[in-house]
Amino acid sequence: MAVGDLSPGRRNRGRRKVRPRLRRILLTTLVVTCLLALSVGWVGLRGWQARGHLENAADLAQELSRQVLDGETAQARRTLAALQQQTSAARSRTGDVGWRAASHTPYGGSTLVAVRGLAEGIDELARRAFPPLVELDFEVLLPRTGRIDLAALRDVMPTVAQVDTAVQEVRERISDLPADGLSAPVRDAVRQTRAELDRLATFTAAVRRSGALLPALLGASGPRTYLMVFQNLAEPRSTGGIFGAYAVVRANGGEVKILRQGPTSDLEMFDRPVLRLSREQRALYTDLLGIYPADVNLTPHFPTAATLYREMYRRTVGGTVDGVLATDPVALAYLLRAIGPVPVAGHPTLTAGTAVRSLLSDAYRLLDQPAEQDGYFAASARAVFDALLKRPVNPRAVAQAVGTAAAERRILFWSARPEEQKELVNSRLAGVMPDRETVNNVGVFLNDGSGAKLGYYLKRSAELTVGDCRPDGRRELHLRLTLQSTAPSSGLSKSVRGLALAGDPYTARLVIYVFSPLRGSPVGARLDGRPEPMGGGIERGRRVAVLGVDIGAGRTRVLEISLLTQANTSGAAELWLTPGTTPWTTRVSSAPACNQ
C-alpha cells in the first residue's frame, strides 16, 4: 500500500503517474512472448517478415514499459500505436491463405497453427490489455494525509476488470494450441508462453478480486481491526520466521492507524491446542502448532497460522480481529528504498542497506534483554509505518517495493470473513499452496530446530529439475538444496546462541519440510551424497518429506530429494520457498509433458 502525500510542486513536475506491478508484468510478458517467437522455425518469406515485425514489437514493448513506468503518457500513446502496427503486421503475415493452407498439411501443419496462435495472442495483448493500462491514472489512489480515496479506488476497478478479461481470454486461446507434432522450437515457445500467461492470468485475477475487496478491507462499511505480525527471520519458520512482534491496526473509511503494539512473548503458552488440529497436522508438527505462539507457522499454510495466532491473542489480550497481516524486515528494507532513512528514537537510523542487519543481528549484539530487543522491533516497525503514512514518497518506488515483497511471499494476509478469504485464497498474498495444479508445485519450508537465532547467517539455493517420464506416466523431479552457514565459530551473544539444541551453539539445526506436487510423493533423499533417512506425513493432500540437517559454522550441506508427480502431468514446475534474510538462488528446469 503506497501511503504519503505528494506536494503540489512534485505533482506539477510531470505528474508522474503510479504504474504498479500489474503494468510491468503485462509489458514484460509481451517482451518474453515476442522473444520466444523469434526462436520459431519460420516458413518462407512471410514467416521471415513476421519475425521482423515481432523483433520490432519486442523493442517497442521495452520502450513502452519505460514510458509507462515514468508516467510519460503522451509518448506511451505513440509507442503503443507503433507497437500495435507491428503486432498486427505479424498477425497478418501468419494469417494469409497460403499460411492457412499450409496449416492443414500433415507435415508441419501443427507448427504453423501454433505460430499463428502465438502471433494472435501477442496482438490481442497489445490491442486489448495495454491501452487501458496506458490511460489508467493510479495517482488518484495515493493516500493523502493517511487516507485512501475509496471512491477513486472503486472507479478504477472496471478498467482492471477489462484488463483481466483480455488476459484470461488470451490465456485460454494459447492453452488451446496444439501440443503434439510441433517442431522443438515452437513446442518450447508454446510451453513457455503458456507458463508466462498462467502466472500473468493468476496475478491479474488476484488483483481484480483484491481490488474489489479492498474498500471493505479498508473500512468502507465500518471499522476493521487487524493483527499485523512481524516475522523474525533470524529464527526460521515455514512462512519466514517466528512471529516476533505484533501491532493492532485499525482501518476506517480508508484511514489506517496503529492502536497498540506488543511482543509475541506477551501471549501465553497453552496447555492444549487453542483450536482443533487435524490428525495430519499433529503428526507433522505435534501440538506445538496450537499451544506455542512462536510455532503457529511451523506449517506453511498461512491461514492455519493466522487463525491460531488470532485465537491466542484473543485469549491472552482480548478482542477479536478481522484478519492477520504478516511481513518481515526484508519487506521493510524494500520500503525504505522508497521512503528513505527512518530515525528510530534511541537507536540507529534505519536505512534500506542496514535495516536487516540492524534488526536481525545488531539488535542481539547490542541489546542484552529480550524486552529491550522487543521494544526495538516495535519502535522500528512503527517508525517505518508512520513514515509511509506521513512522508511525501515516490509512489512508483513504493509500488515496486510492495510488489517485490509480495512476489517473494513476504506479505501474507488472511481474512476472518469467509466470503473475503474465498476471494483471496488463490492470490500470492494468501500463503496457500494450490489445491489444483497446472504446474508441479514443490514446497521447501525451513524451520529452526536449535532454538537459536542463526537463520540470519543462512544462505540457500534450490535447483528443481523435471526428469524422465516413467511407464505409468508419472514424472521424476530432482530437487537439490545447497545450505550454507556464514556464522562465525565464536563471539555471538547468548541471545543468538539460544538453547543450542544442536549441541554446538554455533551449529544451526534445520527441520525441512519438502511438499510434493498434488498426488505425488517423495521417493528418497541424499545428504552430501549419502543416503539420508526421512520422515513423512500428509498436509492438505500433499505428501511431505521431513528431514533434519545440522549446519556448522562456515559449513555447506547439500541435500538432494527425489519426488514423483501424478500421472500425465505438466512438464512445468514451480518452487515455494521459505523467505530468508536474502533471496534464494533458484533454477527450475522444465520439460515437455509425458503425453507429448
Domain end among 368, 385, 414:
414
Regarding whether 408 and 487 lie in a shared domain, the answer is no
Question: Across residues 240-266, what is the average pLDDT?
Answer: 91
**Percent of the chain surpassing pLDDT 90:** 49
What integer pLDDT is reported at residue 400 of this predicted model?
77
Q: List, in sequence order, the alpha helices (H) in 96-219.
A: 97-102, 109-124, 130-135, 150-175, 184-217
Question: Across residues 369-391, what is the average pLDDT?
Answer: 84
399 lies in some domain? yes
Are 295 and 288 in contact by the 8 Å Cβ rule? The answer is yes
Question: Across residues 80-86, what is the average pLDDT?
Answer: 88
31-40, 238-247, 363-372: which has the minimum mean pLDDT? 31-40
Structural domain range at position 397: 224-414
Q: Is the pLDDT of residue 167 over 50?
A: yes
Domain end among 202, 217, 232:
217
Identify the CA nearest to 364 among candidates 263, 452, 250: 452
pLDDT classification of 501: cutoffs 50, 70, 90: very high
Interior CA angle at 117 toward 112 and 121, to 5°?
155
More confident residue, 58 or 436: 436
Question: Across residues 493-518, what is the average pLDDT?
Answer: 96
Q: Is the pLDDT of residue 6 over 80?
A: no
With a threshold of 0.75, does the pTM exceed it? yes
594 lies in some domain? no
The grid cell for 246 is 505484533
Regarding whether 367 and 494 lie in a shared domain, the answer is no
Question: Across residues 496-524, what is the average pLDDT?
Answer: 96
Domain end among 217, 236, 269:
217
Regarding whether 167 and 84 lie in a shared domain, the answer is yes
More confident residue, 199 or 577: 577
Regarding whether 442 and 394 lie in a shared domain, the answer is no
Task: Write out pLDDT tens, residues 541-566.
Answer: 999 999 999 999 999 999 999 999 99
pLDDT classification of 393: cutoffs 50, 70, 90: confident
pLDDT classification of 243: cutoffs 50, 70, 90: very high
292 lies in some domain? yes
What integer pLDDT is reported at residue 62 of this predicted model?
67
Question: Across residues 574-579, what is the average pLDDT?
Answer: 97
pLDDT classification of 37: cutoffs 50, 70, 90: very low
Q: Is the pLDDT of residue 318 over 70?
A: yes
Question: Across residues 449-458, what is the average pLDDT?
Answer: 96
Q: To the nearest whole number, what is the mean pLDDT of the chain?
A: 85
96-100, 125-129, 271-275, 510-514: which has the minimum mean pLDDT? 96-100
Interior CA angle at 149 toward 76 and 65, to 5°?
20
What integer pLDDT is reported at residue 147 of this predicted model?
77
Regarding whether 111 and 171 lie in a shared domain, the answer is yes
What integer pLDDT is reported at residue 5 of this predicted model?
38
Question: Across residues 476-484, what is the average pLDDT?
Answer: 97
What integer pLDDT is reported at residue 97 of this predicted model?
65
What integer pLDDT is reported at residue 526 of this predicted model?
98
Q: List, in sequence order, the alpha helices (H) in 321-460.
A: 329-339, 355-357, 363-366, 370-390, 395-407, 418-424
What integer pLDDT is reported at residue 476 of this predicted model?
93
Regarding whether 286 and 349 lie in a shared domain, the answer is yes
What integer pLDDT is reported at residue 88 of this predicted model?
87
328 lies in some domain? yes
Burial 63-88 (b: 16+ CB within 10 A, else e): bbbebbbebbbeebeebbeebbebbb
Q: Is the pLDDT of residue 276 over 80?
A: yes
pLDDT classification of 3: cutoffs 50, 70, 90: very low
428 lies in some domain? no
Sequential DSSP letters for 470-481 = PTTS-EEEEEEE
pLDDT classification of 272: cutoffs 50, 70, 90: very high
2 lies in some domain? no
Regarding whether 234 and 378 lie in a shared domain, the answer is yes
Regarding whether 178 and 241 lie in a shared domain, the answer is no
Regarding whether 308 and 205 lie in a shared domain, the answer is no
305-319, 368-382, 406-420, 573-587: which has the minimum mean pLDDT? 368-382
pLDDT classification of 407: cutoffs 50, 70, 90: confident
Sign of CA dihedral 51, 122, 126, 403: negative
Task: Write out pLDDT tens, residues 9-18.
Answer: 444 444 444 4
422 lies in some domain? no
Regarding whether 118 and 199 lie in a shared domain, the answer is yes
Instruction: Quote the number of domains for the chain.
Output: 3
Are 18 and 48 in contact by the 8 Å Cβ rule? The answer is no
Regarding whether 452 and 558 lie in a shared domain, the answer is yes
Identify the CA nearest to 23 among candidates 121, 135, 123, 117: 135
Q: Is 382 helix (H, G, I), strand (E, B) or coil?
A: helix
- Residue 336 dihedral angles phi and psi, to the nearest 5°: -65, -25
Task: Write out pLDDT tens, residues 41-53.
Answer: 444 556 666 667 7
What integer pLDDT is reported at residue 494 of this predicted model?
92
More confident residue, 6 or 54: 54
Regarding whether 247 and 196 lie in a shared domain, the answer is no
Domain of 261, CATH number, reads 3.40.630.190
Domain of 583, CATH number, reads 2.60.40
Are 547 and 448 in contact by the 8 Å Cβ rule? The answer is no
pLDDT classification of 370: cutoffs 50, 70, 90: confident
1 lies in some domain? no
What integer pLDDT is reported at residue 322 of this predicted model?
97
